[in-house]
Chains A and B, each alone.
Chain A
Amino acid sequence: MGFPHPIHPKETPVLSKHFGEADARTYDGWVKRGGYRALEQALGMSREQVVEVVKASGLRGRGGAGFPCGLKWSFMPKEATKPHYLCCNADESEPGTFKDREIMRWTPHALLEGVAIAAHAIGAEVSYIYVRGEFTEPYAILERALAEAYAKGTLGANAMGKGRRLEVVLHRGAGAYICGEETALMNSIEGKRGNPRIKPPFPAQAGVFGCPTTINNVETLAAVPHILTNGAEWYAKMSLSSPKSTGTKLFSVCGHVARPGNYEVQMGFPLKDLLFDLCGGVAGGKRLKAVIPGGSSVPMLTAEEVEDTKLDYEGCAQKGTMLGSGGVIVMDETTDIVYQVMRLAKFYAHESCAQCTQCREGTAWTVKILQRILAGQGETKDLDVLLELADQMTGKTICVLADSCAAPVISGIRKFRGEFEAYLTGKKRLAIA
Chain B
Amino acid sequence: MTTGAQAHGRTGAPAHGESASLPRVFEGAGRAELDGILAKYPTKMAALLPALWMVQRRHGWVSDQGMAEVAEVLGVTPAYVKGVVTFYTMYHQHPVGKHFVQVCTTTPCNVCGAEKVVDALLKATGCHRLGETSPDGAWTVIEVECLGACGFATPVLVDDDFIESVTPENVPALLARYGK
Contacts and interface: CB of A to CB of B under 8 A. Distances in A.
A427 interface: no
A290 to B, nearest CB: 10
A327 interface: yes
A351 interface: yes
Given A132-B148, A209-B42, A350-B1, A174 B106 contact: no
Given A169-B40, A176-B88, A194-B87, A252 B150 contact: yes
Contact of B108 (A95, A134, A190, A192): A95
A101 interface: yes
B110 A340 contact: yes
Interface string A39-72: 0000000000000000000000000000000000
A340 B46 contact: no
Contacts of B112: 254-256
B59 to A, nearest CB: 15
Sort chain A's interface into a size bin: 35 or more
Given A132-B148, A350-B2, A172 B50 contact: yes
Contacts of A372: none
Contact of B49 (A191, A340, A344, A367): A191
B15 to A, nearest CB: 26
A309 interface: no
B36 to A, nearest CB: 11
B148 A98 contact: yes
Pick the most buried of B41, B52, B157, B161: most chain A CB atoms within 10 A of its CB: B41
A81 interface: no
Sort chain B's interface into a size bin: 35 or more
A94 B161 CA distance: 21
A171 B49 CA distance: 8
Given A256-B111, A256-B112, A347-B107, A175 B89 contact: yes
A261 B151 contact: yes
Contacts of A132: 148
Contacts of B53: 172, 174
Contacts of A12: none
B84 A193 contact: yes
Contact of A190 (B43, B151, B160): B43
Nearest to B2: A350
B122 interface: no
Nearest to B84: A193
Interface string A362-383: 0010010000000000000000
A347 B90 CA distance: 16
Nearest to A345: B1
Contacts of B87: 176, 193-194, 353
A350 B3 CA distance: 10
Interface of A: 83, 92-98, 100-101, 126, 132-137, 167, 169, 171-177, 188-194, 209, 252-256, 260-262, 296, 327, 329, 331, 335, 340, 343-344, 346-347, 349-351, 353, 364, 367
8 contacts: A98-B149, A167-B40, A254-B150, A260-B153, A331-B111, A340-B107, A340-B110, A367-B1
Q: 6 shortest A-B CB distances, which residue pairs? A: A191-B48, A175-B90, A175-B89, A174-B88, A254-B150, A260-B151
Interface of B: 1-2, 40-43, 45-50, 52-53, 74, 76, 83-84, 87-91, 102, 105-108, 110-112, 144-153, 157, 160-162
Given A173-B90, A188-B49, 10 more contacts: A135-B148, A137-B162, A169-B41, A176-B89, A192-B84, A193-B83, A255-B112, A335-B111, A340-B111, A351-B145
